[in-house]
């Protein structure tokens, strides 16, 4: 982790400064500054546009009852692209612009999804009804949907399978 932070905060700015100085010597200071500002503005514009499209896609998939995992990864990559494009410099702009290309994002998303392990049933929850009212207890166990009461053949709730309706008033 230290090496990654070292690269991000020390090496990349040194590379950026070196490239900006070389481009500035080649084109002049004002065209170089204009290119850096223009790339940040255009990058932010395209990140916003593609981000809104990704958000709409996430909402559509969730409305259909599907998990929008590809869209979430795409959204994270667009966030990284936005940060890279707003950061002054040419090297970060190149990486940021490459993340705006859908084919590049798809290739990276496929690689990332290979390394992600999804645990859909990580913890069980039990709802108990007591004299004080309904009490929510969350118990983390090694097996999904099991608890110490379930293992002792005790019911998880007095009203298991029924829907209880009523009003709720919180007293703190």
What is the Cα–Cα distance from 105 to 113, expressed in whole angstroms? Answer: 12
| Average pLDDT in the chain | 75
The residue among 2 and 130 whose pLDDT is bigger is 2
Question: Of 8-22, 25-39, 155-169, which gets the smallest average pLDDT?
Answer: 155-169
* Model confidence pLDDT, tens digit, residues 125-136: 444 444 444 444
Q: Per this entry, what is the length of the chain?
A: 172
Spatial CB neighbours of 57, under 8 Å, sequence gap ≥ 6: 68, 71
Residues 39-48, mean pLDDT to the nearest whole number: 84
pLDDT at 160: 57
pLDDT at 148: 46
What is the Cα–Cα distance from 133 to 135, expressed in whole angstroms? Answer: 6
CA 20 to chain centre: 31
* Model confidence pLDDT, tens digit, residues 62-119: 888 888 877 888 888 888 888 888 888 899 989 988 988 889 988 888 887 777 765 5
Tell me the pTM. 0.58
């Amino acid at each position: 982790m230290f090496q990654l932070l070292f690269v991000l905060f020390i090496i990349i700015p040194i590379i950026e400064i070196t490239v900006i100085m070389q481009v500035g010597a080649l084109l002049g200071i004002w065209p170089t500054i204009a290119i850096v500002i223009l790339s940040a503005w255009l990058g932010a514009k395209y990140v916003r546009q593609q981000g809104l499209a990704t958000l709409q896609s996430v909402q559509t998939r969730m409305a259909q009852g599907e998990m929008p995992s590809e869209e979430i990864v795409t959204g994270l990559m667009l966030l990284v692209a936005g940060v890279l494009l707003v950061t002054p410099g040419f090297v970060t702009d190149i990486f940021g612009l490459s993340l705006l290309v859908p084919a590049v994002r798809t290739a990276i998303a496929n690689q990332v999804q290979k390394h992600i392990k999804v645990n859909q049933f990580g913890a069980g929850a039990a709802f108990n009804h007591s004299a004080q009212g309904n009490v929510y207890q969350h118990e983390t166990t090694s097996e999904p949907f099991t608890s110490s009461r379930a293992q002792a053949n005790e019911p998880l709730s007095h009203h298991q399978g029924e829907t209880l309706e009523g009003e709720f008033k919180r007293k703190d």
